Amino acid sequence: MVMKQGPMAKYGSRYGVRQKKIAAAIERVQKQKHSCPYCERPALERMSAGIWHCRKCGNKFAGGAYFPTSAIGQQIMKMRIEKEKVSAAPEAKLNK
Ligand SMILES: [Zn+2]
């Protein structure tokens, strides 16, 4: 009889307080409005684990299981941007 309100109230006394606190923190962010990376409008919906769909532009893409981008995904995106900069640099020198 501890959590009578909040997203974890549906689990009652089951599964333990620690696990429910972790799950509540994830669910709170998951159910926020996320903006689409393609059209920037806050119309993303989670179809299933890792699959996100934009209700406005219709784009469907893979992302994090509970959030549109995962921590690893953001790191890989940074690495890709760095790699594109490096690969674009010699061409920029040739154009000058
Ligand atoms: Zn969109």
How many domains does the structure of the chain reveal? 2
Residues 28 and 39 in one domain: no
Residues 49 and 77 in one domain: yes
The pLDDT score that the predictor gives to residue 3 is 56
Residues 41 and 77 in one domain: yes
Direct distance between the N- and C-terminal alpha carbons of the chain, in angstroms, rounded to an integer:
71
Question: What pLDDT digit, counting tens, does each position of 24-44 carry?
Answer: 998 888 888 999 989 989 999
Among residues 36, 38, 6, 37, the alpha carbon closest in space to that of 21 is found at 6
Cα of 13 to ligand 1 centre, how many Å? 39
Cα of 80 to ligand 1 centre, how many Å? 22
The pLDDT score that the predictor gives to residue 93 is 58
Cα of 14 to ligand 1 centre, how many Å? 38
Residues 43 and 13 in one domain: no
Residue 2: pLDDT above 80? no
Cα of 42 to ligand 1 centre, how many Å? 8
